[in-house]
A and B are shown apart, each in its own frame.
Chain A
Amino acid sequence: MLIRRMVPTESPWFSGHDELDGIRRQIRGLMGEMEEAMLARPGAIFPALNVTQDEDNLYVRAELPGMKPSDLNVTAVKNRLSLSGSRQIAAEDESASYHRRERAGGHFSRSIVLPVDFQGDKVTADYVDGILTVTLPRTPETKPKQIQVKTA
């Protein structure tokens, strides 16, 4: 199922880079996220993702046990992160008889738009204990800045 998202770049809401820009983008991102969140049901796109953020980075995590890093593909372009890969379930010997077969192997491909800008060339990805964590450093403009309140 391919989801094509229309992101308006010219709209009455866009007026250069004023202070509300970041908030508007967040809200638009949130609206986009609700769409993503509604997909979290059986039959939705594999894998399930958790996206979190702190002051410096965005983090995207997926549970992908039993994968080889060489079978994982992570690409980041502008504000879009794409994950794809192939999970191999090792073929066991033919004389084995199965009592349960719940683990699935196959192809997957998923791409999400992130609500916060990140620095594409500084993105890193770790695969530890079956969890893939992609760390996307935020662009300096998106980091919260403390504003000093001066008294006269």
Chain B
Amino acid sequence: MEKQLQRSEKQRITNSAEQTRPGLVFTPAVDIFENDSVITVLADLPGVKAKDLKVDLRENTLTLTAAVNSLPSEKETDVFREYESGTFFRQFTLAETIDQAKIDAELRDGVLRLRLPKTEAAKPRQIAVKAS
């Protein structure tokens, strides 16, 4: 039987030092996995459009920043509110060197799929052990 989804609080960042604009900041849920040739990052970014998402990779640090602009119009008043919206931010240090030219990012239905191909030098190679 399929398992039931549990609700968890949206992870808020309360001590972020990088805030340059006002508003709440949240940490998106991510799945990160890798195989021999590519690291893949999947991030839940509901309400984010491609133009508002910044993916930055420099010096082995990957930074995701996304603004949510699909807020309700001013004419709407709250009846009840169970979740807040705000900017998404998350940063990772990558242990592998990535071939920057081949990075592929796709944002669909609020999910970012980021493919980071490893450089040739970073791919694991079987090293033949010679018996002497």
Contacts of A10 in B (CB 8 A): none
| Contact B9–A130 (Cβ < 8 Å) | no
* Cβ-neighbour of B78 out of A52, A92, A95, A129 (below 8 A): A52
| Contact A100–B79 (Cβ < 8 Å) | no
Interface size class for chain A?
A: 35 or more
Given A50-B83, A66-B109, A96-B35 in contact, is the A102-B29 Cβ separation under 8 Å?
Answer: yes
| Contact B82–A37 (Cβ < 8 Å) | yes
Q: Kindly state whether residue B128 has any CB partner on chain A within 8 Å.
A: no
User: How many residue pairs, one in A and one in B, have C-beta atoms under 8 Å apart?
Assistant: 148
Instruction: Tell me if B's interface is mostly helix, strand, loop or mixed.
Output: loop
Q: Kindly state whether residue A19 has any CB partner on chain B within 8 Å.
A: no
A77-125 contacts to B (CB < 8 Å)? 86-87, 89, 92-93, 95-108, 114-116
Q: Kindly state whether residue A20 has any CB partner on chain B within 8 Å.
A: no
| Contact B76–A53 (Cβ < 8 Å) | yes
CA distance A129 to B44 in the complex (A): 10
B36-84 contacts to A (CB < 8 Å)? 36, 40, 42, 44-49, 70, 72-73, 75-83
* Cβ-neighbour of B2 out of A64, A107, A127, A131 (below 8 A): A107
Q: Kindly state whether residue B122 has any CB partner on chain A within 8 Å.
A: no
B interface residues (Cβ-Cβ under 8 A, vs A): 2-10, 29-36, 40, 42, 44-49, 70, 72-73, 75-83, 109-111
A interface residues (Cβ-Cβ under 8 A, vs B): 29, 33, 36-37, 39-55, 58-59, 61, 63-67, 86-87, 89, 92-93, 95-108, 114-116, 127-131
